[in-house]
Amino acid sequence: MPFEISACRPEELPALLDLADRVFRSRRSGAMEKEYPLLFHPDNLEQLRVIRAQGRPVSHVGVCLREGVILGCRMGVASIGSVATAPDYRGGGMASALMEDARRHSLERGVSLMLISGGRGLYHRLGYVPAGRFASLVAPAGTAPMTSGQPRPCAAGDILTVVGFHQREPVRYIRSLDDWRRLLNAGNLMNHPADLWIIEDGGVPVGYVATQQPSSGPGPRSPVRAYEFAGARRAVAEALPTLAAHYGAEEIEIVTQPDDAALLAEARRRDWRIGARGFPGTLGIIDGPAFFAALHPYLEERWGRDLGGLELEPLPEGAIFRRAGAEYRLETRGLLTTLVFGGDVETARALPPPPAPVAEALRAAFPMPLLWYGYNYV
Ligand SMILES: CC(C)(COP(=O)(O)OP(=O)(O)OC[C@H]1O[C@@H](n2cnc3c(N)ncnc32)[C@H](O)[C@@H]1OP(=O)(O)O)[C@@H](O)C(=O)NCCC(=O)NCCS
């Protein structure tokens, strides 16, 4: 059944927030509007896609349009969150229709990569996959050496210092200063209340770490999660055990890119647990031509100025790779996204083996790093 889909109107925002709070905050405290200040800001109404019944929003898909940088390649990214249908209206196809609308809406606004903070059948059926690879490092609580890796709470005057460290990271969302202010004011990191720490070495800031506050209450404390950081890896590594101790937790987990050799070396030196983890949701390349155009500098550096003789023909959903008379067709968004970002996922095992000349080129470029949400989680 076709639904009428449109942006949330200003006067409907309270009803939409009420729907989001009833669906996502009925069993825990919090208010979605405060926790997700980029998504539910009045300047983002055009991206809050709704279906109405009896004059009010009953189903919603929230879109946050930003840009991301992956190893120097800048691309439009849509982050999807707060996907909710009022209980009485579930199972009627509303969320599916809104997800398709969100894809078209994002596409028209220059987005090539869509990240969804969930992994339901709803998303899988539409071709999104849990691709992407990250490294998880777990450190025991402890104390930092006297001068380096000392964490202190971030103060209002530190904001440009934090922005500067973030700007130097090779894989990140682009955040305007307004975004930073809203996000830090909200104090929410990937669906949890959070703290931001400046890491100092000899009294000089060299990085930052954002930590989710562990849940309070009886029972053993959950490990602290450092779900965003930037700056000097050694100092960050030295600060982590102190941060775990600060929260009374036994351990702290930090997530980084799998090729963050410097932080991984620190972890190995300290005998920390090192594991692989996936993207916390599903994703898809929704505009192949725009995505590969954005990737051109990266591919040129990996394949040479003539792209190693590899021709790439983006298809509406997948892509065809041709080299030395051999052809490799990936017909679906899921397969293409998995080829590009990798991951220990079912679609990776479903990838057909490429013919040798194509395989050689693909191996030199993919899998490549994927954005981690950090503060941009919605
Ligand atoms: C997930 C959710 C948004 C789906 O909304 P919807 O409008 O019912 O979605 P659709 O009708 O397009 O169909 C998709 C879902 O309906 C389910 N469904 C089918 N028939 C149904 C029925 N009679 N009653 C309830 N659900 C039914 C499907 O199993 C499918 O769920 P899946 O993702 O688990 O495969 C809704 O169930 C919801 O608000 N859930 C709570 C919040 C939530 O989990 N959001 C997603 C965060 S990732």
Write out pLDDT tens, residues 163-197: 999 999 999 999 999 999 999 999 999 999 999 99
122 — phi, psi (to 5°)? -50, -45
How many CB atoms sit inside 10 A of residue 332's CB? 16
> Burial level of 91, CB count in 10 A (0-12/13-18/19+)?
exposed
Nearest residue CA, atom 15 of ligand 1? 91
d(CA 73, CA 17): 35
Encode burial over 8-28: b for 16+ CB neighbours within 10 A, e otherwise: beeebbebbbebbeebbeeee
d(CA 358, CA 353): 10
How many angstroms does the Cα of residue 122 sit away from the middle of ligand 1? Answer: 7
The beta strand positions in 88-144, using DSSP E, are 111-116, 134-140
Question: Where do the domains of the chain lie?
Answer: 5-125, 134-277, 287-365
Residue 356's pLDDT is: 94
How many CB atoms sit inside 10 A of residue 161's CB? 17
Q: Do domains 5-125 and 134-277 have the same CATH topology?
A: yes
Q: What is the pTM of this model?
A: 0.96
How many angstroms does the Cα of residue 118 sit away from the middle of ligand 1? Answer: 12
Q: Are the beta carbons of 226 and 190 closer than 8 angstroms? A: no
From the alpha carbon of 119, which atom of ligand 1 is closest? 48
Nearest residue CA, atom 1 of ligand 1? 84
Tokens representing residue 335 in the block: 């397969």
CATH for 134-277 (3.40.50.1240, 3.30.750.24, 3.40.630.30, 3.40.50.300): 3.40.630.30
How many angstroms does the Cα of residue 255 sit away from the middle of ligand 1? Answer: 30
Residue 146's pLDDT is: 66
Q: Are the beta carbons of 373 and 187 closer than 8 angstroms? A: no
From the alpha carbon of 117, which atom of ligand 1 is closest? 48
How many angstroms does the Cα of residue 19 sit away from the middle of ligand 1? Answer: 15
From the alpha carbon of 92, which atom of ligand 1 is closest? 11
Q: Is 316 helix (H, G, I), strand (E, B) or coil?
A: coil
How many angstroms does the Cα of residue 90 sit away from the middle of ligand 1? Answer: 6
Report the DSSP pairing between strands 251-256 and 224-231: parallel
Nearest residue CA, atom 30 of ligand 1? 122
From the alpha carbon of 281, which atom of ligand 1 is closest? 48
Find the Cα–Cα–Cα–Cα dihedral 176, 179, 185, 187, rounded to 10°.
-110
Nearest residue CA, atom 9 of ligand 1? 95
Residues with CB under 6 A from ligand 1: 23, 59, 83-85, 90-96, 118, 120-122
Residue 230's pLDDT is: 98
From the alpha carbon of 96, which atom of ligand 1 is closest? 12
CATH numeric code, 5-125: 3.40.630.30
From the alpha carbon of 123, which atom of ligand 1 is closest? 33
Residue 178's pLDDT is: 97
Find the Cα–Cα–Cα–Cα dihedral 360, 312, 354, 120, rounded to 10°.
120
Nearest residue CA, atom 21 of ligand 1? 91
From the alpha carbon of 120, which atom of ligand 1 is closest? 33
Q: What residues of the chain score a pLDDT lower than 50? A: none
d(CA 2, CA 345): 33
How many angstroms does the Cα of residue 125 sit away from the middle of ligand 1? Answer: 12
Omega prior to 367 cis, within 30 of 0: yes
Q: Are the beta carbons of 109 and 121 closer than 8 angstroms? A: no
Q: Considering only CA atoms, which of 186, 377, 193 is closest in space to residue 279?
A: 377
Instruction: Express each pLDDT in 104-146 by its tens digit.
Output: 999 999 999 999 999 999 999 999 999 999 999 999 999 866 6
Cα separations (Å) of 35 from 112, 184, 240, 242, 282?
Answer: 26, 10, 25, 27, 21
Residue 220's pLDDT is: 63
For a mutational test of ligand 1's pocket, the pick from 22, 90, 116, 126, i.e. the residue with the most ligand atoms closer than 8 A to its C-beta, is 90
CA 65 distance to own-chain centroid: 12
